[in-house]
């Protein structure tokens, strides 16, 4: 099994006729993902290397039975694109767009909760999701993802940082450790899917025997995850928190990575995770090595 997406997931790409949508949509298809349609208003009837394009998500879903959407549109169009997918009954939406105003993110998140509770949003400003060998939606290179080991043990990855999502995958690849699913949740202030959502799914997934959490400074998401781990997670975990040397009050990288008032520090997050029983590495490689030790004990 895997979480959120698997070999049966049918994907549409909103923005398939654009540069980023075409590039990554075709890469996803080449990986083996069932990319069944694209959506660009006004370009219905065209195709992109054999993938039919529709004017609306509703038309694409009706024609293909798609259950997931990959959104690669400019920031101004992302709000409407997410809600269009939800209104069409798409259950899983991945939005890689960065630069969406925080106010729009908050509005779309709360609209989904209120009006479309059966739609899960991953992102925005995230690398996406990959269940190795089954489905890849987003911008992650499938080559760096180790296929799951038949019978396990396999590791689930959840990360706020896009770049460190890739490094976590590659660290496990070099160690020959199978991955069930890797989820890049993004680091913006209002993510559609958070650490706890993913940890809960991994905890329930029989193919996932251990987990890696990659966090970073800013906000309280990691501390909240630590509280959830302590109360509700029994599977072993390792973790890495980026930003140990970041100065307080200075924005680091993007809107979610800021430390203020002594809160959101890397040290505080690391302490909270250690208190919950998580093995915390001082760098991404060490987090991978700690996971190798965990996996060795599970064999």
DSSP H/E element including 295: helix 284-298
Distances (CA, A) of 27 to 178, 263, 276: 22, 40, 39
Tokens of 62: 């009706």
Return the bridge partners of 129, or none: 137, 183
Tokens of 20: 């980023």
In this structure, which long-range contacts are made by residues 249-254, counting pairs with CB atoms below 8 Å and at least 24 apart in sequence?
A: 252/217, 252/218, 253/187, 254/98, 254/125, 254/187, 254/188
Say if CB 16 and CB 28 are below 8 A apart: no
Say if CB 169 and CB 157 are below 8 A apart: yes
**Vertex 226: Cα angle to 251 and 291 (nearest 5):** 95
Rounded Cα–Cα distance for residues 166 and 159 (Å): 9
Q: Where are the beta strands (DSSP E) in 162-281?
A: 178-184, 210-216, 237-242, 279-281
Residue of 10, 173, 254, 269 marked active site: 254
**Vertex 240: Cα angle to 239 and 243 (nearest 5):** 155
Check if 279 is active-site. Answer: no
- Give the catalytic positions in this structure: 254
């Amino acid at each position: 099994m895997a979480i959120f997406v698997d070999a049966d997931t049918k994907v549409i790409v909103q923005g398939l006729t654009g540069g980023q949508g075409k590039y990554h949509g075709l890469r996803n298809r080449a990986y083996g993902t069932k990319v069944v349609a694209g959506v660009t208003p006004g370009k219905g009837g065209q195709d992109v290397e054999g993938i039919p394009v529709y004017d609306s998500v509703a038309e694409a879903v009706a024609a293909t039975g798609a259950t997931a959407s990959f959104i690669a549109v400019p920031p101004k169009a992302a709000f409407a694109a997410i809600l269009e997918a939800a209104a069409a009954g798409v259950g899983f939406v991945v939005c890689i767009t960065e630069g969406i105003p925080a106010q729009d993110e908050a509005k779309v998140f709360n609209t989904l909760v209120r009006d479309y509770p059966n739609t899960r949003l991953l992102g925005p400003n995230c690398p996406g999701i990959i269940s190795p060998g089954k489905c890849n939606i987003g911008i992650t290179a499938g080559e760096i993802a180790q296929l799951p080991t038949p019978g396990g043990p396999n590791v689930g990855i959840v990360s706020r940082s896009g770049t460190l999502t890739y490094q976590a995958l590659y660290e496990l690849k070099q160690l020959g450790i199978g991955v069930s699913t890797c989820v890049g949740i993004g680091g913006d202030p209002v993510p559609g899917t958070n650490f706890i959502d993913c940890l809960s799914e991994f905890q329930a997934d029989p193919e996932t025997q251990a987990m890696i959490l990659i966090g970073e400074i800013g906000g309280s998401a990691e501390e909240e995850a630590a509280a959830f781990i302590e109360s509700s997670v029994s599977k072993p975990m390792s973790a890495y928190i980026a930003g140990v040397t970041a100065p307080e009050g200075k924005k680091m990288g993007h809107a979610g990575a800021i430390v203020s008032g002594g809160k959101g520090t890397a040290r505080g997050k690391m302490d909270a995770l250690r208190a919950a029983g998580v093995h915390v590495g001082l760098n991404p490689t060490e987090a991978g090595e700690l996971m190798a030790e965990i996996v060795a004990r599970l064999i």
